[in-house]
């Protein structure tokens, strides 16, 4: 079972200068994703690595069915996502869940933890009587125990790491096959990043999840990933087993990323 990107192109229309608008010159479209191929299998972690603006988050939205494609296709277990509409697309989105970068913004400050985690269940029509047990199980899975001490808290009463664990619980509660984690530790203190990364690794093993970890940091990628794909200017320039990509990089951009990662040896030995 796999989530696959096949020759996907996404183009955004560039902002037109005022003179071009007056003179009715045609606008141009720049590729944010340019002919990308990538496969995420269940039970593995693939790290998508690249600098800001390389197209990583756009590709993530493609995998989650949240981005219109210019061309190409995305398939989940041989089902073409571009053909899904209405209820079928809604059902698919239970299987592929996203974890966003900033838990300070992705969680509603007005909601309690129990309501945040249960929100996806409500959206997908899970009966209210069945939600409590699933919310509790999700909180246990992300290490927020005893559950009773977290259910009625609001985000401002939690640490950054706890907020991100709540966000992960909100994704897990729908029992997905794949998680798309977009820079999930970049907003967290260094001291608690390892705990969240370890949690993602454990969830991959215990639930046979496919995890796409988006990061600009090769040290983070090596710490948890089975495979690494390196993205530059909308294209994947190199991909392969994590040890191969970091130990014997073939592309100059990968070598540049490695040179900018002074703690890579420490991450490999961790």
d(CA 6, CA 59): 11
Distance of CA 240 to the CA centre of its chain: 19
**pLDDT on residue 268:** 40
Cα–Cα distances (Å) from 55 to 144, 194, 231, 236, in that order, read 33, 25, 7, 10
3-state secondary structure at position 83: helix
Residues in the chain, pLDDT under 50: 266-270
**pLDDT on residue 261:** 78
Looking at domain 2-269, what is its CATH homologous superfamily? P-loop containing nucleotide triphosphate hydrolases (3.40.50.300)
Q: What sign does the CA torsion over 46, 195, 216, 223 have? A: negative
3-state secondary structure at position 127: coil
pTM: 0.88
Element (H or E) spanning 11, and its range?
strand 2-13
**pLDDT on residue 154:** 96
User: CB neighbours (10 Å) of residue 209?
Assistant: 22
Domain coordinates of the chain in residue numbers?
A: 2-269
Rounded-to-10 torsion of CA 173, 174, 179, 183: -50
**pLDDT on residue 262:** 66
pLDDT digits (tens, 9 = 90+) for 230-239: 999 999 999 9
**pLDDT on residue 28:** 56
Q: What angle do helix axes 160-172 and 190-207 make, rounded to 10 degrees?
A: 20
Q: How many residues does the chain have?
A: 270
pLDDT digits (tens, 9 = 90+) for 138-192: 999 999 999 999 999 999 999 999 999 999 999 999 999 999 999 998 888 887 8
């Amino acid at each position: 079972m796999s989530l696959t990107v096949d020759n996907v192109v996404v183009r955004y229309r560039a902002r037109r200068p005022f003179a071009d608008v007056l003179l009715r010159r045609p606008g141009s479209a720049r590729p944010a994703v340019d002919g990308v191929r990538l496969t995420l299998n269940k039970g593995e972690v693939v790290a998508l690595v690249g600098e800001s603006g390389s197209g990583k988050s756009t590709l993530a939205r493609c995998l989650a069915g949240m981005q219109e494609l210019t061309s190409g296709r995305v398939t989940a277990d041989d089902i073409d996502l571009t053909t899904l509409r209405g209820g079928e697309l809604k059902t698919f989105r239970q299987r592929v869940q996203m974890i966003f970068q900033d838990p300070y913004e992705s969680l509603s400050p007005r909601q309690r933890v129990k309501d945040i985690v249960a929100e996806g269940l409500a959206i997908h029509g899970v009966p209210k009587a069945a939600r409590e047990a699933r919310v509790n199980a999700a909180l246990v899975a992300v290490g927020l125990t005893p559950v009773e001490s977290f259910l009625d808290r609001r985000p401002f009463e939690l640490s950054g790491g706890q907020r991100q664990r709540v966000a992960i619980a909100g994704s897990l509660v729908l029992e997905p096959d794949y998680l798309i984690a977009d820079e999930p530790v970049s907003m967290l203190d260094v001291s608690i990043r390892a705990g969240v990364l370890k949690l993602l690794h454990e969830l991959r093993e215990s639930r046979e999840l496919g995890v796409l970890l988006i990061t600009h940091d090769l040290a983070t990628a090596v710490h948890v990933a089975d495979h690494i794909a390196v993205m530059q200017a909308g294209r994947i320039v190199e991909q392969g087993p994590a040890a191969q990509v970091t130990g014997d990089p073939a592309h100059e951009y990968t070598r540049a990323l490695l040179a900018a990662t002074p703690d890579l040896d420490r991450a490999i030995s961790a």
